[in-house]
Structure 1
């Protein structure tokens, strides 16, 4: 695909809720020290693409953990910490009533929801939340308008949906895609690689 923008995608660094396997979704949970170290690592890895990416669009989800990750990355690149935009469409999947719950507790607190999710992980929607199908529509709509190379800091669910959109994957596979916090995903045309 000629003239297709390259997307450098970084998932925010670890939070205590990630570490504890607690659903955070759209809750505004801060990075922990491990998460800050992951952001530094990803910024150092991206420095190999300077000066080309200095003119790219830098875009973050509005949540604090993504903005802090972006600012750490920009500092590692020698760029002004505030030289990025915030895009609400890149916020994480909402887990509704599951937010704040430990994954290990769900079988006890919401057995019906756990069973329904196993039946159709892509379309299942928690009470008060979104499905991956909802998130895919939101992220795809935004990604269709990307016209320039960009560096994005967002979330695991957004990473999965963005890959499905850019690479033309079956959306049903979205929930199974990996989403590490200590690597940079590079999407270029219909190919991807981890840095």
Structure 2
């Protein structure tokens, strides 16, 4: 059966100030690596040998998550392990000038902007950033390219909460304004059949 597994990367180092992450290139923490290895022990037998390719965001946390998962996949006698492809179109939503800032810092620099984003989550674009709608279009275009390259294969896609949320909203026909209400934990996975 063809389809697509969506996997969120493992956990990041602690962020006690709750700074906006977005597309900043933050690596996995040691706990994140252990989390993905543990997930792989359970998940890989479920995958079997049906993965045609592994596609991941170009940010280090996804590349490392994908590599750890790929190392756990069994090699078939003829083809070896699936190929890992790095896809910038699956990079986390760009929060522009908000990246690395706290909610209080954003509110100080752009009064009312954080609340305005909450009122129009699908279309609001932070300064020099992108909206969830823009990020969704980018991710869907990237996946369409990979589906053409692997028309009958099951793909293992490793990305971020924002991007996976936009994809799940699309495939489940949910309003994009609720994107942040779709629960996603570090190292979670979801299967989208016949996309």
- In the superposition, the TM-score normalised over structure 1's length comes to 0.83
Separation in 2, partners of 1:150, 1:188: 10
1:175 and 2:180 aligned? yes
Counterpart contact for 1:132–1:175, Cα < 8 Å: no
Instruction: Give unmatched runs, 5+ long, in structure 1.
Output: 191-195
Q: Deviations over 1:32-81 (max 9, x none)?
A: 1121122112222221234333x421101111111011111122234588
Q: What's the CA shift for 1:165?
A: 2.2
Instruction: Give unmatched runs, 5+ long, in structure 2.
Output: none
Distance 1:101-1:125 versus aligned 2 partners, 3 A rule = same
| Alignment coverage as a number of residue pairs | 186
1:6 and 2:6 aligned? no
Counterpart contact for 1:124–1:131, Cα < 8 Å: yes
Q: Mean Cα displacement is larger for which, 79-88 or 161-170? A: 79-88
Q: Mean Cα displacement is larger for which, 28-37 or 142-151? A: 142-151
For the residue of structure 2 that corresponds to 1:111, the secondary structure is coil
Q: What's the counterpart of residue 26 of structure 2? A: 29
Q: What's the counterpart of residue 125 of structure 1? A: 125
Distance 1:51-1:123 versus aligned 2 partners, 3 A rule = same
Counterpart contact for 1:44–1:77, Cα < 8 Å: no
